[in-house]
Structure 1
Amino acid sequence: MTDTPPTQADLDAIKEQLGRAPRGVVAIASRCPSGHPNVVKTEPRLPDGTPFPTLFYVTCARLNGMIGTLEASGLMREMSERLVEDADLAAAYAAAHASYLEERRALAVVPEIDDVSAGGMPTRVKCLHVLVGHALAKGPGVNPLGDEAVVLLGDWWTGTTCDGPGEPPAQLAGIDTGWAEDVQ
């Protein structure tokens, strides 16, 4: 996936989404079908000096709410249990952690968080928001549990001002884990 530099219109949209001015935005990492930002790439150290491990930050309120509903369902516990039971899944998740750290280090090395990715990676699932943000920013095949959560979210943008011409974000193209069918 290709990050795009934020425009003033993007920053204004993010401010409206968050209800506050965005901090440390480096790029727009994902957009909904209408073109609004839904995931931003952030500096690993915010302008006020605070270390910030969340490289990919979900800004869309609707998407955040739907991810919160998934979190409340017990999905994170189930995913964490699967990491213990499935060596291939654990290896893919560890690779997602490594790629996350590599990309963040390319922006800046922040000693306080250098080996900490986010979302519980590499051994557990602590925050689906981070995993979904990572999956949407990087596309399918990078974060397996993020991909699964994206599949479960479905077409989160429908019925909103972001409801575009019916085309999903490019970052969703090709995501088919097969897992969604197993849980239905």
Structure 2
Amino acid sequence: MIDDRDVAAVERQLGRAPRGLRAVAHRCPCGLPDVVETAPRLPDGSPFPTLFYLTCPKAASAIGTLETSGMMRSMQARLAEDPALAEAYLAAHTDYIARRDEAAAEGGLEPLPRDMQSTGGMPTRVKCLHALVGHELAVPGSNPFGREALDALGEWWATGPCCRAEETAGAGSGGGGANAEPLRPARTGTER
């Protein structure tokens, strides 16, 4: 379950009402949600394959800079050349699908079709660093390209919260998920 204050913070971050929220999957060191877990199907039943959704506009902006730098092209080339990396990326995809199926079961929803993408281009393409970083923040140690991008981001939170202080009073104090501590994620994997 997600706390009303966290829902309000996510709405301010996105500039719109969030849909299908299940939980805060990770918190920024500022205390606000930066990744939320969403239902695999929206309230109208339409598929929503992005289980871990990055909400922090500061992180999203920094990731956008990485995407325009050519990082994804480099990652894609390495994926084709490095079997161990390809195996780790496939494992990230498998993890994502399993967690998304678990969320569907917990919500009493029909799981998404097996041939539907997981996120970010997994397992054969690198097409959205935002999604891969969201996965890595929510499940530290799960996504090799999410980890690389996260390491390259720097401290996006260093200049303060993405929402004004008077708007976030009390936000971030409830509704955490398994990795909702306000710390930079460790480099090792965790179980949900």
TM tier relative to shorter chain: 0.7 to 0.9
Q: Is the CA contact 2:101–2:112 (under 8 Å) kept in the aligned structure 1?
A: no
Structure 1 counterpart of 2:129 = 128
Q: Is the CA contact 1:101–1:115 (under 8 Å) kept in the aligned structure 2?
A: no
- Residues 1:42 and 2:38 aligned together: yes
C-alpha deviations, 1:46-102, integer Å up to 9, x for none?
112221110100001111111111111111111011000111000000000000000
Structure 2 counterpart of 1:170 = 183
Report how far residue 169 of structure 1 moved: 4.1
Q: C-alpha separation between the residues in 2 aligned to 1:45 and 1:104?
A: 10
Structure 2 counterpart of 1:165 = none
Q: Is the CA contact 1:53–1:113 (under 8 Å) kept in the aligned structure 2?
A: no
Secondary structure of 1:104 counterpart: helix
Q: C-alpha separation between the residues in 1 aligned to 2:76 and 2:159?
A: 32
Structure-2-length-normalised TM-score? 0.81
Structure 2 counterpart of 1:138 = 139
Secondary structure of 1:16 counterpart: helix
Structure 2 spans left out of the alignment, 5+ residues? 105-109, 163-180
Structure 1 spans left out of the alignment, 5+ residues? 163-167, 176-184
C-alpha deviations, 1:8-57, integer Å up to 9, x for none?
00000001001111100101001011210000000010112221110100
C-alpha deviations, 1:113-137, integer Å up to 9, x for none?
6542010000110100100000000
Report how far residue 107 of structure 1 moved: 1.6
What percent identity do the matched residue pairs reach? Answer: 55
Aligned residue type for 2:119: A
Report how far residue 142 of structure 1 moved: 0.9
Aligned residue type for 1:121: M
| Runs of 4+ with deviation above 6 angstroms | none
Structure with larger RCO (C-alpha < 8 A, sep 6+) = 2
Aligned residue type for 1:13: A
How is 1:23-62 mapped onto 2 (pairs within 5 angstroms)? 23-62=19-58
Report how far residue 6 of structure 1 moved: 1.4
Q: How many residues align?
A: 165
- Residues 1:86 and 2:82 aligned together: yes
Higher helix fraction (1 or 2): 1
Secondary structure of 1:27 counterpart: strand
Q: Is the CA contact 2:29–2:184 (under 8 Å) kept in the aligned structure 1?
A: no
Structure-1-length-normalised TM-score? 0.84
